[in-house]
A and B are shown apart, each in its own frame.
Chain A
């Protein structure tokens, strides 16, 4: 079973990101589960959501404390909360950032990939300059970095889950898939 934890802020689309990811894996015949950690959803507040992927029935119905991989929609969260808590060694961290390098020492044990999802989202008119909606781009980047799920499945999942601007969201996911950069592999 693969367990993925997504960190973001209210309004960025972290919860939908975990659901699109689940849908993408479902399209590759996996068993999936996705859900948010439920708080009082407020724009800008830290948000966590979860995705489980398995070849068999998923029975665990609780939050993910020891994820295999992380998706981080806001790099500032790296400095404010201990995001890597419980992350298994060798796991992937896919981060939305425009920074070329990461000086966070704690990230050394993990594979780190980055993508400027904000820029990509804005390029395709997703969200506003102050609040770009980066969920489709970051899922594309996750697929591009980890190769755990195929681009076609991601694009189909975007098509299924995104209510508006389906084409632009697909393009954002696809561009992020290819644009992902590796800090450590």
Chain B
């Protein structure tokens, strides 16, 4: 059934459709409505899940770790400082190989306090071993939640689904809402191989000597690598079943493009409008949305970008001392395989609006910029 709902509620409906059994979360703007609606659903019995109220995000994720280790499907949502407070347990969930799904609503990190969007909170969790999927619409958000559980449970790694604060979280648009009965054949109940079970006791989280730890890390990386195919296949199966697919990356009018804008999140959506506008003016331009950030889709990115003449990466984030993070990733994906100039642009930090005009200015600047710039290109900064 199609309804006009906000992005946060699209998340809640995705969780409902996924038959989640334990939800634990701590409220934080701009995420709060996600768990508000979920707790309502639990209270009304629309979702047969245990909602565990806790006193911090650290505890929220810890509760999910415990529940997931006990063998049930778990979910939490957070944002910004909350995600950072979870950081210790973010690592734990990976090492314990727990298929938790977490939604992070991208919100800039303080100080100064900000409630508006940028990607530094989730990208600062880049090296923890979580899969990260960035969404651009409410429909994609709901659908990605469902996909995320299937992916997580097949590779036994946690998955973070990411959406922009306000530009998605609080934006109302039409969503074709998934019902649990529709989803069940796609996402069967979670049945872990190992779980905490009083009838079959084991020690968990043990001390691992140098003789064992290394191998366990190796296995995490192997699982991450294996997840590339899983992410792609799950999306394809989802598309076959529900008619909506999102891809690992989403190229738009790239086939003959001489310049390609690399984007993520809601900027990817707005950029497509700019591509159409400039194509109408005869500019051979395309855009590439990176939906799956971890595992990074090296091959897919290479396949698209190696055929163009120039790449402009738009980052709504910054790795202080080393450019935007998507820029770093794209460069390393293409390193040694092509000589296409890659130029990085940083914009939209702390919720600064990334309008078609801003994106167009990046495209126009990129067309004139000759080669890879050693310096960061700041778009819109008032200096």
Contact = CB atoms under 8 A, between A and B. Distances in A.
When A and B assemble into the complex, do they touch directly, with CB atoms less than 8 Å apart? Answer: yes
Contacts of A22: 4, 172-173
A57 to B, nearest CB: 9
A35 B273 contact: no
Contacts of B115: 38, 40
Contacts of A38: 30, 115-116, 165-166, 170, 351
Contact of A62 (B136, B165, B172, B354): B354
Interface stretch (B20-28, B90-98, B264-272, B301-309): B264-272
A160 to B, nearest CB: 8
Interface stretch (A26-34, A121-129, A136-144): A26-34
Contacts of A26: 2, 4, 174
Contacts of A31: 173-174
B42 to A, nearest CB: 20
Contacts of B168: 61
A60 interface: yes
A19 interface: yes
A65 interface: yes
A5 to B, nearest CB: 14
Nearest to B358: A62
A62 B168 CA distance: 10
A65 B166 CA distance: 17
A35 B172 contact: yes
B356 interface: yes
A19 B4 CA distance: 8
Contacts of B164: 61
Contacts of B269: 59-61
B167 interface: yes
B166 A35 contact: yes
B171 interface: yes
A26 B173 CA distance: 9
B17 to A, nearest CB: 21
Interface string A27-66: 0000111111010100000000000000000111111010
B369 interface: no
Contacts of A40: 115
Contacts of A63: 353, 355
B355 A59 contact: no
Interface in B163-212: 164-168, 170-174
Contact of A32 (B166, B174, B354, B356): B174
Interface residues of B, number: 27
A61 B171 contact: yes
Interface residues of A, number: 19
B270 A60 contact: yes
B353 A62 contact: yes
A23 interface: yes
B162 to A, nearest CB: 15
Contacts of B171: 33-35, 61
A19 B270 CA distance: 21
A162 to B, nearest CB: 14
A32 B116 contact: no
B173 A62 contact: no
Interface string A143-176: 0000000000000000000000000000000000
B264 to A, nearest CB: 12
B355 A65 contact: yes
Interface in B326-383: 351, 353-356
A65 B357 CA distance: 11
Central interface residue in B2, B164, B267, B269, by most chain A CB within 10 Å? B269
Interface string B111-149: 000011000000000000000000010000000000000
B137 to A, nearest CB: 8
A34 B166 contact: no
Given A22-B4, A65-B355, A36 B170 contact: yes
Contact of A60 (B30, B174, B273): B273
Contacts of B266: 61-62
Nearest to A39: B115
Given A26-B2, A36-B170, A38-B170, 7 more contacts: A22-B173, A23-B172, A35-B172, A38-B30, A60-B270, A62-B354, A63-B353
Shortest 9 CB-CB contacts between residues of A and residues of B? A61-B266, A35-B171, A34-B172, A59-B273, A62-B355, A38-B166, A59-B269, A33-B173, A62-B353
Interface of A: 19, 22-23, 26, 31-36, 38, 40, 58-63, 65
13 contacts: A32-B4, A34-B4, A35-B172, A38-B116, A59-B269, A60-B269, A61-B167, A61-B171, A61-B266, A62-B167, A62-B266, A62-B354, A65-B355
